[in-house]
């Protein structure tokens, strides 16, 4: 049994064992003193190292480690969580649970792992509220801790929430409409491809609640997310989403412009002609292909000039689609532009693609 310093000093005939205990206590107090002094250093690394050494002081260090959880440097806070986990003092549970709201993802992840390690069932309520964290690593740590604590989802929505946190998006989708709420919460993930995957999943449900966050996703800094949002809105919102999607015709990324042109071009709506006319000379050939196909579907006389101009495009697919569109339009004025192309192709022994459009034009 370890005796107090007062008890040791009152011993009339101190034995070797008593002397050893006194020396050990003095050493421990001395280490605690210097470690606490290290916590006041201006150097974050020195404070972090002091926190790590405080583990040896065990219960005596708990109040000081709890105070270190409010350090300005995330590395010190993370080290303090880890140290408290090693000491395993139940007094630290509320303080560790509060770190699930830390601004730094690494600290939140450490806190989630700590709560799982401590194995205290009452920590499940704190963890459940963090299942929709913006960071994927934190969500996985939270899901893992809940699993260790024996937590079970109570319904389909919670099952979807747990599946998303565990990185199993397909399992969440299998829960059906109850998964929409959890998916909407995951649309703000810090990782671009995760946001993209969530948007693609939401498109499968056709739930109008998803429209506002999808509209916001049109301005996401990740072009792949913007592409996914364009396709999802086109499927889900219909013509009501035309205006925000039309704005993507001026997006700085060609794949976003392509997605917008493809989505709106499917309808062949002549009312959108002026917007598509602005893409006739787009710098990206795929965007021009989508544009000429959209113009061809309109079958409107006002598309004639644009289609005729696209016969001179540098890309053969664009020229082919332009000839196709002119053929469907049936305007005899196109003959003067199509016949020279037919002669060029015949002389070059290339594929005679213009031939099948010429007979569809009306002469006189």
| Cβ-based burial of 199 (10 A; exposed 0-12, middle 13-18, buried ≥19) | buried
Looking at residue 2, the DSSP 8-state letter turns out to be P
| Cβ-based burial of 97 (10 A; exposed 0-12, middle 13-18, buried ≥19) | buried
Which residue spans within 53-132 are E strands per DSSP? none
What confidence score (pLDDT) does residue 20 get?
Answer: 47
Least reliable range by pLDDT among 172-176, 227-231, 297-301: 297-301
What confidence score (pLDDT) does residue 25 get?
Answer: 47
Residue pair 128/153 in contact by the 8 Å Cβ criterion: no
Across 176-195, average pLDDT = 92
CATH of domain 1-87: 1.25.10
pLDDT digits (tens, 9 = 90+) for 5-37: 555 445 555 555 544 444 444 445 556 655 676
pLDDT digits (tens, 9 = 90+) for 335-357: 666 656 655 444 444 444 444 44
| Cβ-based burial of 359 (10 A; exposed 0-12, middle 13-18, buried ≥19) | exposed
What is the C-alpha separation between 361 and 364, in angstroms, rounded? Answer: 10
Residue pair 100/111 in contact by the 8 Å Cβ criterion: yes
pLDDT digits (tens, 9 = 90+) for 217-259: 999 999 999 999 999 999 888 788 899 999 999 999 999 999 9
What confidence score (pLDDT) does residue 230 get?
Answer: 96
Please say if the pLDDT value at position 116 is more than 90. Answer: yes
What confidence score (pLDDT) does residue 329 get?
Answer: 75
Across 70-85, average pLDDT = 94
What is the C-alpha separation between 294 and 287, in angstroms, rounded? Answer: 11
What is the C-alpha separation between 154 and 150, in angstroms, rounded? Answer: 12
Across 297-304, average pLDDT = 89
Coil, strand or helix at 86: helix
* C-alpha atoms less than 13 angstroms from C-alpha of 38 in its C-beta half-sphere: 19
Residue with tokens 């739930």: 207
Q: How confident is the model at residue 155 (pLDDT cuts 50, 70, 90)?
A: very high
* 259 membership: H or E segment, kind and range: helix 254-265
What is the C-alpha separation between 219 and 42, in angstroms, rounded? Answer: 41
Q: How confident is the model at residue 168 (pLDDT cuts 50, 70, 90)?
A: very high
What confidence score (pLDDT) does residue 331 get?
Answer: 64
Query: What does the angle CA 84 – CA 88 – CA 89 come to, to the nearest 5 degrees?
Result: 90
What confidence score (pLDDT) does residue 334 get?
Answer: 57
| Domain boundaries defined on the chain | 1-87
What confidence score (pLDDT) does residue 11 get?
Answer: 52
Whole-number percent of the chain with pLDDT over 70:
80
Across 281-299, average pLDDT = 94
Q: Which residue has the higher pLDDT, 348 or 194?
A: 194
Across 309-335, average pLDDT = 82
Average pLDDT of the residues of the chain: 84
* Range 173-177, long-range pairs (CB < 8 A, 24+ positions): 173/201, 173/204, 177/205, 177/207
Residue pair 266/257 in contact by the 8 Å Cβ criterion: no
Reported pTM: 0.76
What is the C-alpha separation between 280 and 59, in angstroms, rounded? Answer: 73
Please say if the pLDDT value at position 118 is more than 60. Answer: yes
């Amino acid at each position: 049994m370890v005796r107090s310093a007062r008890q040791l000093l009152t011993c009339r005939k101190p034995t070797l064992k008593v002397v050893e205990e006194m020396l050990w206590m003095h050493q421990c107090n001395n280490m605690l003193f210097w470690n606490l002094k290290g916590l006041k250093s201006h150097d974050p690394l020195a404070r972090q190292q002091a926190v790590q050494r405080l583990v040896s002081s065990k219960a005596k260090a708990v109040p000081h480690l709890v105070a270190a959880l409010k350090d300005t440097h995330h590395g010190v806070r993370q080290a303090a969580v880890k140290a408290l986990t090693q000491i395993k003092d139940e007094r630290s549970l509320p303080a560790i649970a509060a770190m699930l709201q830390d601004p730094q993802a690494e600290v939140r992840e450490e806190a989630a792992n700590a709560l799982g390690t401590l194995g205290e069932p009452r920590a499940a309520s704190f963890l459940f509220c963090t299942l929709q964290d913006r960071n994927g690593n934190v969500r996985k740590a939270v899901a893992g801790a809940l699993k260790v604590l024996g937590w079970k989802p109570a319904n389909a929505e919670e099952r979807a929430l747990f599946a998303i946190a565990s990185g199993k998006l397909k399992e969440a989708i299998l829960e059906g409409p109850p998964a929409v709420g959890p998916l909407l919460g995951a649309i703000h993930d810090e990782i671009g491809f995760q946001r993209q995957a969530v948007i693609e999943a939401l498109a499968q449900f056709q739930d109008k609640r998803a429209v506002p966050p999808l509209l916001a996703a049109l301005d996401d800094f990740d072009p792949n997310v913007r592409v996914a949002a364009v396709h999802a809105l086109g499927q889900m919102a219909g013509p009501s989403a035309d205006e925000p999607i039309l704005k993507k015709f001026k997006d700085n990324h060609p794949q976003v412009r392509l997605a917008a042109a493809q989505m709106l071009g499917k309808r062949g709506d002549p009312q959108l002609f002026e917007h598509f006319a602005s893409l006739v000379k787009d710098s990206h050939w795929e965007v021009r292909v989508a544009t000429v196909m959209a113009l061809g579907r309109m079958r409107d006389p006002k598309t004639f000039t644009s289609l005729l101009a696209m016969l001179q495009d540098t890309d053969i697919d664009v020229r082919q689609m332009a000839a196709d569109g002119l053929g469907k339009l049936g305007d005899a004025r196109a003959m003067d532009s199509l016949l020279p192309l037919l002669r060029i192709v015949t002389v070059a022994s290339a594929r005679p693609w213009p031939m099948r459009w010429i007979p569809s034009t009306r002469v006189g």
